[in-house]
Amino acid sequence: MPKTIVALLGLALAGGSASAAMLAPGEQFPAWSLTDDRGQTVSSQDLAGKTYLLWYYPKAMSSGCTKEGCTLRDNFDGFRKANVEVFGVSYDSPKSNAEFVAKYGFPFRLLSDSDHALAKKVGADGVMGIMARRISYLIGPDGKVIKAYDDVQPAMHAQQVLDDLAAMAKGR
């Protein structure tokens, strides 16, 4: 077997990906423009001057993604109080994302990275490009990464981000 195929199979079995490494805190997050669950375009330019969380999830309606989305929904007031906008991102179509939002009453928008372009730039491209990796980025008003979350636990992620935001607020 060619070495490239062996390497990709090894990454797949290990749960890894051949995409770019995750961005580190302080790095500029790449410019992006994605379609949301309402069919509207949302871009990094629209969010300039705002702090936001981009949480990549593998697949709408799957158990882990539903758990993570519902936990973010249930803690949404904390994000609102911290002036942090929340966006979910997956490879799902805007229509699938709209169904996910409607079924679970998410107060945030879900974005479609259907061509995987942003995922590839930020280390979210999943195994064999089939689904996105479950990672998140907290991005500051200047467009730079505040915090990168590589090992996201769906049931605890919202509280983890809120704890980080509280710690940052105390440090100011």
Residue 19's pLDDT band (cuts 50, 70, 90): low
Smallest CA-to-CA distance from 113 within 60, 52, 51, 46 is with: 60
Q: How long, in residues, is the chain?
A: 172
The residues, ordered by sequence, that sit 6+ positions from 148 with a Cβ below 8 Å of its Cβ are 22, 23, 24, 25, 135, 136, 137, 138
pLDDT at 117: 95
The pLDDT tens digits for 110-138 are: 999 999 999 999 999 986 778 999 999 99
Smallest CA-to-CA distance from 43 within 116, 143, 158, 161 is with: 143
Residue appearing with tokens 């999830």: 57
The pLDDT tens digits for 37-57 are: 999 999 999 999 999 999 999
pLDDT at 172: 62
- Domain range list for the chain: 28-171
Q: Which of 23, 34, 42, 65 is catalytic?
A: 65
What sign does the CA torsion over 136, 82, 63, 92 have?
negative
Residue 1 has pLDDT above 60, yes or no: no
Third-level CATH fold of 28-171: Glutaredoxin (3.40.30)
Mean per-residue pLDDT, 151-157: 93
Asked if 70 is an active-site residue, the reply is no
Judged on CB neighbours under 10 Å (0-12, 13-18, 19+), 110 is buried
**Cut 0.75: pTM above it:** yes
Residue appearing with tokens 């803690």: 75
